[in-house]
Structure 1
Amino acid sequence: MRKVIAIILVLCIISSLLVSSSQTYEQQSLIPTLQNLLPTKPFESALSTLSIHYWNTTISVEERGYYHFVEFLLRKSAHFILFGLLAAGIFLSLPSRFPRFLIASILTLLLACGDETHQYFTGGRTATIRDVILDMSGALTFLLFLQITVWLRRRKKND
């Protein structure tokens, strides 16, 4: 049953990536939603102390404004988490006799590259190697956690 759930997770994430990569930035903008949900701009003073260098620009509250900065953080967090879950789903859907860590890493890398390539052909979107690196950071983080869990369970079972 766990493998079926993992396969469903993988298919849902791939589907959501295809849909989101097909949309322009304007279609995906979270700004109006953030303005409605966060009218008092919580944590603005704390966020104002941060700046992130990304794609040859500085992303900060001062440079982009509060809502654009929060949106940037949410979008990049989504990359990390979605590709982490994708890699975990691939890992869990494979039989344990396979080199699951390696196969899940390679398939996730191919999907991350495919997602960025798809974005390249979408108006108002850009494809960046930095997003692939961020995607793989999430994937490898989730995979390391899973692999350590597998090793600990095996060790506990053998004791």
Structure 2
Amino acid sequence: MKRYILVIIAILITLFFVSSMSYQQQTIVPSLQQVLADKPFEELLSKIEVTYWGQTISVETRGYYHFVEFLIRKATHFVGFGLIGIIIYLLYRKLKLKHAALFAIISTFIIAAIDEFHQTFVPGRTGIFNDVLLDTAGAFTLIILFKVIQLVTKKWMKEISICRS
């Protein structure tokens, strides 16, 4: 149980420092320009438009590298908070909390909301409620996926032990 708490604290500290950085300190566009100099999948990505915070985000409106960065940043939100949700779920389950998955999703929502609120105080950053929803969707999805994998694995292991008997 201690290890889950320590991991959660480490993640929250890391999240705080990352959220304290301005966009200019965080941008990966220069790296993308080097790594993706040939603009792979540009034609495919040019067909994608995302409406986000009332704005259309696309290769056409933002440019190739900024659009790829946008997709990476949002995927990082989704997966990162999904993993936070799983760790919180494991902690709550260890504590034998009834409805651990639900409370883990709610806890992740609260952490995401605090993170976005914190960003409103950082120059060059904005706290966006859509990111809180994206983070929570990541937690919901990854926790459910984790639980499904656990159930399938448990059933599969049970079948293997029956076959060996």
In 2, Cα distance between equivalents of 1:44 and 1:155:
42
Is 2:48 aligned against 1:50?
yes
Partner of 1:144: 144
TM-score by length of 2: 0.86
- Verify the 8 A CA contact 1:109 1:136 in the aligned structure 2: yes
TM-aligned CA deviation for residue 15 of structure 1: 2.1
CA RMSD, Structure 1 to Structure 2 (Å): 2.1
Q: Counterparts of 1:9-48 in structure 2 under 5 Å?
A: 9-48=7-46
Per-residue Cα deviation, 1:31-64 (whole angstroms, up to 9, x for no partner): 1111111111111111011111111111100111
- Verify the 8 A CA contact 1:13 1:82 in the aligned structure 2: no
TM-aligned CA deviation for residue 11 of structure 1: 2.8
Percent same amino acid among aligned pairs?
42
TM-aligned CA deviation for residue 143 of structure 1: 1.2
Partner of 2:119: 119
In 2, Cα distance between equivalents of 1:124 and 1:134:
21
In 1, Cα distance between equivalents of 2:2 and 2:34:
38
**Higher mean displacement: 146-155 or 78-87:** 146-155
One-letter code of the match for 2:8?
Answer: V
Per-residue Cα deviation, 1:103-158 (whole angstroms, up to 9, x for no partner): 2112111100000000011111111110001000000001112333444537975x
Aligned length: 157
Larger Cα-atom Rg: 2
Partner of 2:80: 82
In 2, Cα distance between equivalents of 1:120 and 1:76:
18
Structure 2 unmatched runs, 5+: none
In 1, Cα distance between equivalents of 2:97 and 2:135:
23
TM-score by length of 1: 0.89
Per-residue Cα deviation, 1:62-96 (whole angstroms, up to 9, x for no partner): 11100000000000000000000000011112326
TM-aligned CA deviation for residue 97 of structure 1: 2.2
Structure 1 unmatched runs, 5+: none
Partner of 1:135: 135
- Verify the 8 A CA contact 1:9 1:86 in the aligned structure 2: no
TM-aligned CA deviation for residue 7 of structure 1: 3.7
One-letter code of the match for 1:97?
Answer: K
